[in-house]
Amino acid sequence: MYSPSPKVMDLLLDAICVVDAEGNFVYVSAACERIFGYTRDELVGRSMLELIYPADLDATLKTAHEVMQGRQKNHFENRYVRKDGQLAHIMWSASWSEEEQLRVAVAHDITERKHTEAMQAAVYAISEAANRSEHLSALFQQIHRIIADLLPVSLFAIALRDGQDGELVFPYYVDQDGQDGEPERIETRRLCASVIEHAEPLLLTPDSLAEVRRQLLGDNPNPGNWLAVPLSSKEGSFGALVIHGSSELLRYNDKNKELLHFVSTQIASAIMRMQMQSRLQYLSHHDQLTGLPNRVLLYDRLEQALLRAQRTRTQIALLYLDLDKFKEVNDAFGHPVGDRLLQAVAERLKTCMRDADTVARIGGDEFLILLEQIQQAGHALTIAEKVRTTMNSPFEVDGLELEMIPSIGIALYPDHGEAQDALMQAADKAMYQAKRRGGNQSALAADPDTKN
């Protein structure tokens, strides 16, 4: 064994490593065991390349080649896999002895510093992502990339409790093959459910208690490493973030759990903020009672539909629907019954429409229906008749059988107007014409040049 003098080098906190031209250790100081977890006997004669974190291998080989060309290297950083499967961040200073054909390097352990920097960088990056991302899906992709830069990840998933029934849903899930969608691995669901229920992070490695692993992971023969953390608000845990590492050498540790748990608070805040923004955006464009688009969203879609119709030289139709005698229902049975009747009307109207059509509630008992790509007036009349007959079937609300008959006005672009306001007014006038005729019928708007 190569043995430099003096022995005082064994007292240094930094490790001294001497490597031959083939990359094999020929001497290591005592500090190497503290840094890398291997004894001297285990390291000497072994290739240093076997210990390097795979993602850092190319950069390390390039630097080693430069050192062997006679270039002094200071402050080069890379990562090594310790004997216990943890990552060690190392800063090297290295030089080449041409006479002895040896590389002599000093290794300074900067793992703790990197851990602190990683937490700070992750919090900043996630905060930036939350401000830049317009949708939760984009935010989750950013978070995935940020975490993958910190830890080895072969599976990344975010689970949220559905607000309606409390079911576990996965708005983001990517496995080691890059496939996304609902997770098929039952252990992913078990881990997320456990973390959400107990509101505590969970770390599972091959060294974890066998009974705990079996309870959560089942009989998976190669479960690897799992790390899951809760996503929490003041009201409690509403979701979980789970990662899986398939490497046999690299293992997650308490530091990784601390880091992921730390950034999970930022992730949870970002998710809640974006969900609130989405909710406010939804409420600003939808009727709160029926969930249908409101006047604002209808006008926006009508404007876009007019632009498309002008470009493609096609027709669109606007149906203005008013419920005859709705006021009598409110007066006789109260507003709660009237509200539930409007909700039932909205659901029934949606069944009459194509996916491309828009049904909107613009207030009270008035609804507007936007139909695109109408070939001729007869098509709009046919759909209006379908709506009328569908509405004629009695509604069952709170044990009551209520009849609701509509008056429908129809306006066509470009026959009855080329602008939003003109079409709206034409459809409104046609609706009142149908109402004056006794209701429960539809009426086509008059030609703009014709006096009513």
Q: Going from the N-terminus, what domains does the chain have, and what CATH number goes with each?
A: 9-109 (3.30.450.20), 114-284 (3.30.450.40), 295-444 (3.30.70.270)
Q: Please report, for residues 44, 289, 342, 348, 367, the alpha-carbon distance to residue 333 in angstroms, rounded to integers and kept in the order given.
A: 90, 18, 13, 21, 22
Mean pLDDT of 103-118: 90
CA 296 and chain centroid, separation: 27
Mean pLDDT of 106-123: 87
Look at the pTM and tell me if it is higher than 0.75. Answer: no
Mean pLDDT of 229-258: 86
Identity (one letter) of the amino acid at 174? V
> What tens digit of pLDDT does each residue of 44-93 get?
999 999 999 998 999 999 999 999 999 999 999 999 999 988 889 999 99
- Tokens, residue 207: 């060294």
Torsion from C-alpha of 36, 38, 40, 44, nearest 10 degrees: -90
Give the Cα separation of 452 and 445 in Å (integer).
10
The SS3 assignment for 122 reads helix
Mean pLDDT of 252-281: 85
Residue 253 and residue 86 in contact, taking contact as beta carbons nearer than 8 Å: yes
Q: What is the Cα gyration radius of the chain?
A: 34
Q: Which residues pair with 410 in a beta bridge?
A: 319, 444
- Tokens, residue 174: 């990517």
Buried b (16+ CB within 10 A) or exposed e, 288-306: eebebbbbebbbebbeebb
Helix H or strand E encompassing 242: strand 236-245
Comparing 107-111, 161-165, 312-316, 399-403, the range with the smallest average pLDDT is: 161-165
Please enumerate in sequence order all residues whose Cβ is within 8 A of that of 348, keeping only pairs 6 or more positions apart, or say none: 390, 391, 395
Please report, rounded to a whole number, the percentage of residues in the chain having pLDDT higher than 70. 90
